[in-house]
Structure formats: structure tokens, C-alpha cells
Structure 1
Amino acid sequence: MSSNNSSRKVVTVDEQAFENVAEEAVDENGFPVVDETPEFEATVEEETQAKVDANHPDGIADTSEDRIHSVTLEQEERIHAREAELERISAQAELGTQDGREQRTRAVAAKRSAERRAEFQTRAASVDPRVDPDRDDPRTKLSQDELATVNTEANRLAEQLDGWSRAAISRHLADAVIGGTDMMSAVVKVFEELQTAPGQVIPIGKLEDVTRKEVSIEGQIEVLWESDSPAIAQVGLIADDSGKTKITIWEKSDAPWVAEGERVRIHGAARNWYEGRVSLAVTGWSTLHFPERGRWWA
């Protein structure tokens, strides 16, 4: 009795082999053609399991050449990590001589900088023997009382001289005392020398005592007036507690404009003489700074 049941019958491998025998073809002589590799079909359970395995992340096929077959992903990651570690160790072994290269580079740069500074001081010593790096510290030649007085005066001058340390001032004082100058005269002499030294902001009243061409000053713009020359951007008077002088800002200097009552610090101002009086000019080599610009109370 036939059945119309739609359920698929489970067929074993052996049954599939016998079914293929009935379907064998014959050749031109009537002899059957034997197929030694019968076609197998998967069972329902095998098809279901295959779908589950194919959709599982660990079962997705990876045809990449970097994949290591026959191992799990976890094992493969460990193998790659170990290979990377071995490569790093090998690279360190080859470049081991460069360990601490940064520290050695800084040490070499510091050494060369010290050598260049000593060379510069040696050349400067030909003009001023006091800056000779090989010269003995003059303070070692002072008595205990003289050294105490020198240190006291150096502390006092350090509060009035910007950019000079107490040790540098005490060396200059000691050198003057050893040269035969009394203490009070030495204090006045050293103060004037260091106050007008190159790189220092010079009091405007001391401009006539300076011999170099360019100076640095700081003061307040008292007044500005119109200039008849198109080459001059601004002209006026600048003053501080020690005095005042004329200042000319040339158009080609491209300097920022100043205003009356404004405090300005000028580095590299050119010192000029006109009718027996000293004046200053702002050129392309000059730099202007405004200490009070941008303050919240301005």
C-alpha cells in the first residue's frame, strides 16, 4: 500500500550505493559502466549540523594565507604573538648598542656647549681679563671681614640690577677691592658698569656714558608730534626716572605704533648725536615690547 507521507526517509550510505547500481549506464557493447566513486548524499541530521557549523563564528572558513590551519583561533593568536615577540627580541639584539642614545646625545650636546662657552670666554678675556674662565676667583683673596662686606653689598646691588646674580656681582666687587679701590668706591663703580653692560636696560640718563652703538631702554612716551618727513613714522620724547631723550621711529622699521603715556621697552635702539645731545632711533633691527598692554585693568 502506497503512502503519500511527505516525510523524507533517512537513507544510509549502503542503500545509496545499491541505488546507484540500478542507475548504471552501459557502453556501446552493452557492458555496464562501473562507477567506483558513488555520489553520497548527506542525511537530514548532517545537513542541519552543517548549517549550524557554517554559521558559527569559529566555523567560518578563512582562506587567508596568514591563517594557520588545523588550530583554533586562540591557538593561532598565541602563535602570532610569540612570533612577534621573537622578532622584537631579535631587533633589540641587533640595535642594542643604541640603548641610551638619547641620553648620550644630550651629554655630548652639553659638553660641546660648555666647550663653546669656554672658548668664547677665553676670547673675551683678551679684552676683559675678569671673564677669563681659568682665572682664580678673586673672592678667595679677600679677608673674612672683606668677604662679608662684599657679600652684603652684592645682595643689595642684586635687588637693583636686573639680570645679574649675587655671585657675579660679588666677583666684580672683590676684583675692584683687590685692585686697591675702597669698598664704597667699588660699589659705585661696579653698579655703574653692570647697569650699562651690554644686554642691560640702560637708564635714559646714562645714555651719554655708553660707548656702543645700540642700547636697550625702557620708559614712558611723554609726547608725540607730527613729522615733516614721510620717512619718519613717529617722533617724540621718551623718559624714565633718570632723564628723557628724543626718539625717532623710522617708517621702514615697520615697528608697532606707540601712544602718549604708554610704557615701552626698546631693544636694539640706535644711539645718535644731534647738536651735542644724544637721541635714539627705532630701526629694522629694533624690537618694541609693551609691558602694560593687554592687562585687564588697562
Structure 2
Amino acid sequence: MSTENAIRQVVSVDEQGFDESGEPVVDEDGFELVDETPQFRPAVEQEMKAKVDANHPDARPFGLTLEAEERLEAREWEIERTKTRFDARQESSREARTKKVAEKGSTERGRVFEERAGSVNKWTHPDEPDPRAQLSQEELAGVNEQAVRVERKLDGWTSAAISRKLAERVVDGSSLMSAVIGVFEALQTEPGRVVPIAALEEVRRQEVSIEGRVKTLWEPSHTSISQVGLVEDESGTVKVTVWKRSDAPWMQEGERVRIHGAARNWYEGRVSLAVTGWSTIHFSERGRWWE
């Protein structure tokens, strides 16, 4: 009897191993047996505590080999050393040295450029003294007074910068009034500024910017032209042609417009402007809430 029981126990163990291979275990009635052994899983708080402990700076890298642990410690030491700042400043020594080299190179290149420009205009040379120091007290007072007057008519220029330009012309032999006229015209037509329409013929560059009111519009003479008309300001009137490929907004008669980057052309001895793809048109009076 004991032998049969032992054989049966061995067979039952083999059957259990066979059943664990993937096939469900059923009882004598054919119902599947369910393993009611409880499975223990960590709670949410335990999982959160484990993540906090794992990311803690004092936690040891468990599960790593000695070589991997030493490599990790060496990497952390290298990162800490790289982050170390000197002289309590917010930049590393390498960043500070790079910044000094870049500043030195920029200063040297700027000086070389100023020296080359000084061969054309001596006042741009870095070794040339301030021209205002070469004027008498009476001449300097007149230059400063005129600089304040010019500053009121031109936006974006300080009286100090204007007085230096006036002093340059006065030292070169021009009278004060001639210097005022020359400096005013030069600053008025400089790149990026809105040029009076009457001064368009004197501008020496291809693209200009104007501001005025649309006086009249007429039917274009070619299908490639979107609009054509006259724009006027206090100084004069100019013909403006808007090409279709520019995709510019539509202008209306009586509107105030500012055109940036218009191409300057000549037609029958008179200057005209063309709005191209590089031009922009702004309407300062559109969308005003009181209208």
C-alpha cells in the first residue's frame, strides 16, 4: 500500500508540473481549478516611497558591479568639477577665457575696420581726436545750439551725435550754416529712414522708404500691375506702382500709407517708386477704434 501511495504521489507531482506548463487544471466534474493563493503587491504609497528612495542623492547604486559603480562615481565627480565656478561668478573658467578671447578679437577687428575707414574719412580713424576739442568756445557753443535744433526735426539722433558731425564739417573748413544744411540732408536720407518725397532724387541708394497720403489711383496699363497712383506728402508727389507679384495690401484713395523698401526708378526724367516683393506697406489709420 505504501508503495502504491508513493507512486501515486510521484505521478500527482508530475501531473502538477505538467499542468503548470500552461494547460488549465480541472477537477473531476470538469470545472477549472483557480489558484486562490493571495498575491502580494506593493501599495501606491510604497511605490512612491521606493521611487523617492531610489532618486535620493544619498542612495547607493544597488545592483551595479564594482566597475560600474566606480565608473558612475567618476562621472559624477567629473560633472561636479565641471560645474564648479571660480571667483563666485556664474560662468566657468573655460567660458570666461572664451569670452575674453572673443571680446579681444572683436575689438581688434573693429579697430582694423576703423583704420581702413579712416583712409577715406579721417574722422572715423580711432586715433583721431574729437573734432569738438579743436573748436573755440564760441564755435562750440554755436555747434551745440544748432545740434539741438536739428535734433527736434530728426527722430533717432541725439544732439551729441549731431554736434560731432557738425564739428567735423566746421573743422574741415565749412561754415556753420553750410554744415547744418549738409548734416541735415545726410541724416534725413540715411538708410532706414522715411525720406521726404522731394528728396528722393538726391538719395544715392536703390531702396527707399516714404510716408504720405494716396492722392489718386488709376487703372493699370498692364495685367502684371496691381495698382498705380500718386502718393504725396508735405514736400511733393511721387508715382507709385504696385506689382501683383509683391502681394501687397490694397491701397485706397485718401489713405495714409508708409512704404518701406520701395525700389527707386526713373521715368521720363522723373523719379518713381515700385512696390516689389521686398517692400512692405503699413496703414497707420486703419482699424482705429474711434472710426
TM-score interval for Structure 1 and Structure 2 normalised by the shorter chain: 0.5 to 0.7
Q: Tell me, what secondary structure is at the counterpart of 2:186?
A: helix
In structure 2, what is the equivalent of residue 136 of structure 1? 129
Q: Quick one: which of 196, 211, 220 aligns to 1:218? A: 211
Q: What are structure 2's unaligned runs of at least 5 residues?
A: 1-39, 62-68, 86-90
- Aligned residues between the structures: 235
Q: What's the offset of the Cα at 1:249?
A: 0.9
In structure 1, what is the equivalent of residue 245 of structure 2? 252
- The 1:167–1:109 alpha-carbon spacing in structure 2 relative to 1, beyond 3 Å, is farther
Q: Is the 8 A contact 1:163 1:200 kept in 2?
A: no
CA distance in 2, matches of 1:133, 1:267: 34
Seq. identity, %: 54
- The 1:162–1:78 alpha-carbon spacing in structure 2 relative to 1, beyond 3 Å, is closer
In structure 2, what is the equivalent of residue 91 of structure 1? 79
Show the 5 A alignment for 1:20-59: none
Show the 5 A alignment for 1:98-137: 99=92, 112-137=105-130
Q: Tell me, what secondary structure is at the counterpart of 1:261?
A: coil
Amino acid at match of 1:250: W
CA distance in 1, matches of 2:152, 2:60: 64
Amino acid at match of 2:80: Q
- The 1:235–1:94 alpha-carbon spacing in structure 2 relative to 1, beyond 3 Å, is closer
- The 1:200–1:96 alpha-carbon spacing in structure 2 relative to 1, beyond 3 Å, is same
Q: Quick one: which of 258, 262, 268 aligns to 1:265? A: 258
TM-score computed with the length of structure 2 as normaliser: 0.66
Amino acid at match of 2:220: S
Residue 287 in 1 paired to residue 266 in 2? no
Q: Compare 271-280 and 79-88 and name the one that shifted more.
A: 79-88
Amino acid at match of 1:135: E
Q: What's the offset of the Cα at 1:124?
A: 4.1
In structure 2, what is the equivalent of residue 187 of structure 1? 180
Q: What are structure 1's unaligned runs of at least 5 residues?
A: 1-53, 68-72
CA distance in 2, matches of 1:133, 1:266: 37
Residue 201 in 1 paired to residue 194 in 2? yes
In structure 1, what is the equivalent of residue 144 of structure 2? 151
CA distance in 1, matches of 2:220, 2:178: 45
Q: Compare 160-169 and 232-241 and name the one that shifted more.
A: 160-169
Q: Tell me, what secondary structure is at the counterpart of 1:284?
A: coil
Q: What's the offset of the Cα at 1:279?
A: 1.0
TM-score computed with the length of structure 1 as normaliser: 0.64
Q: What's the offset of the Cα at 1:291?
A: 3.2
Q: What's the offset of the Cα at 1:213?
A: 2.2
Q: Tell me, what secondary structure is at the counterpart of 2:237?
A: strand
CA distance in 1, matches of 2:121, 2:200: 22
CA distance in 1, matches of 2:112, 2:234: 39
Q: Tell me, what secondary structure is at the counterpart of 2:153?
A: coil
Q: Is the 8 A contact 1:121 1:133 kept in 2?
A: yes
Residue 80 in 1 paired to residue 68 in 2? no
